[in-house]
A and B are shown apart, each in its own frame.
Chain A
Amino acid sequence: MSAASAPAPAEPRLPPVTEIGMTSLALIVAGGIYLSAHLPRHVPLAPAIVLLLLSALLLAANLFALSRARGFNWSRFREVAGWAMLAYAVTAGMIEYAFVRDHLHGGALVVLTLSLVVYAVHVPVLIAFTVARYDPSGAEG
């Protein structure tokens, strides 16, 4: 590839979606490791709940910050996010199936299920954001 290709259009200023998303994913992974490292002992759920809440807050903050971005290609974002969400819903469903199959129940199941929801939303958001940020052709004001 050379500089003879298409000139780079000015990119809109966008929030640090990838960095926030990585932090959010790291938090739910940490919560999952915390819970699974203590099986089958009863373990206080509070640390895992705090990690999950922080992760969910970062997801919400990410979506809010992105919604206020100007000049972002939302049509491309929605297209990619939709398909990616379908794919990650399948993988999250498989993991959830394993949890239920292992008779996981109560608070631990709720925390892990909600963690999977954050995972199945945030990863597609990261994929769609990365694609859409470099595709200004359909940018919306």
Chain B
Amino acid sequence: MSSVSAVTGSAPAHEPGPAAPPGRLEFDIVPRRGLIGVAVVFIAAIVAIAVNAVWPLMFLHVAFGAAWTIIDLFLGFVLGPILGRLSIPARIELTTRLMPKMVVIMPAVVTVTLAAGWQLGVRTGTVLTSYPQHGWVVASFIVVGVMGVIALGLLEPANIAVLVELKKPRPRPDVIERLMKRFIYCAGITGAMQIATLVIMSKLASS
């Protein structure tokens, strides 16, 4: 979730310093239409848990887990650096279009991945102590726990605060700069955790 880490990063020396965005930026911090999609996804997860069949649980866990990992890695290591090289108005434009979607997508992706994954583990017995690779499963709990605390305690609040700040008639660059620093530090940790997730999940799948 480091996509906006460079929104307010220092501009190259040759770049003229643009003024603040002209007037209030028009965007929804939480796109309401996206909430319909979230509701559909949550209902699907609840039904899958209620039915407790392996295939729907596996589908939701794998599909949403893959999305979670790929989004984090892509935003952290591909899009983030690109954002850092864009002109400042372009960074703001991209941020105000991308980040509201992330505010809706990421909590839904994470919740469904974890809920379906837990239920799948109970159904197949992989979360039980009797499972031969139990140590790896516990390691995955720890990795998810670290990512969860960082995402919930640092990234999500900063995301929303940045969007609220950008929506003001005259956003304060120092505030946005300060909030963005969180992403710079957290992106490395979250990216490393996602790589650890890939290692653990591929180990479990191949055992």
Specify which of A25, A40, A123 is in contact with B128 (CB 8 Å cutoff): A40
The CB with the most chain B CB atoms within 10 A, among A7, A39, A134, is that of: A134
Beta-carbon contacts under 8 Å, A77-126 to B: 80, 83-84, 87, 90-91, 94-95, 97-98, 101-102, 119, 123, 126
- Asked whether A94 lies within 8 Å of B111 as measured between CB atoms, the reply is yes
Q: A101 vs B175: C-alpha distance in the bound complex, in angstroms? A: 44
Query: Does A63 sit at the interface, judged by CB under 8 A?
Result: no
0/1 string, A32-44, CB within 8 A of B gives 1: 1100111111000
Interface size class of B (residues with CB under 8 A): 35 or more
- Asked whether A91 lies within 8 Å of B111 as measured between CB atoms, the reply is yes
Seen from chain B, the residues whose Cβ lies within 8 Å of a Cβ on chain A are 8, 17-21, 30, 42, 45-46, 49-50, 52, 88, 92, 107, 111, 114-115, 118-119, 122, 127-129, 134, 138, 141-142, 145, 148-149, 152-154, 156-158, 160-161, 164-165, 168, 170-177, 179
- Asked whether B19 lies within 8 Å of A5 as measured between CB atoms, the reply is yes
- Asked whether B46 lies within 8 Å of A94 as measured between CB atoms, the reply is yes
Specify which of B115, B138, B148, B154 is in contact with A94 (CB 8 Å cutoff): B115
- Asked whether A127 lies within 8 Å of B145 as measured between CB atoms, the reply is no
A-B contact count (CB 8 A): 131
Number of residues from A at the complex interface, CB < 8 A: 44
Contacts A/B (CB < 8 Å), 7 sampled: A5-B19, A6-B171, A33-B141, A94-B45, A119-B152, A131-B160, A134-B172
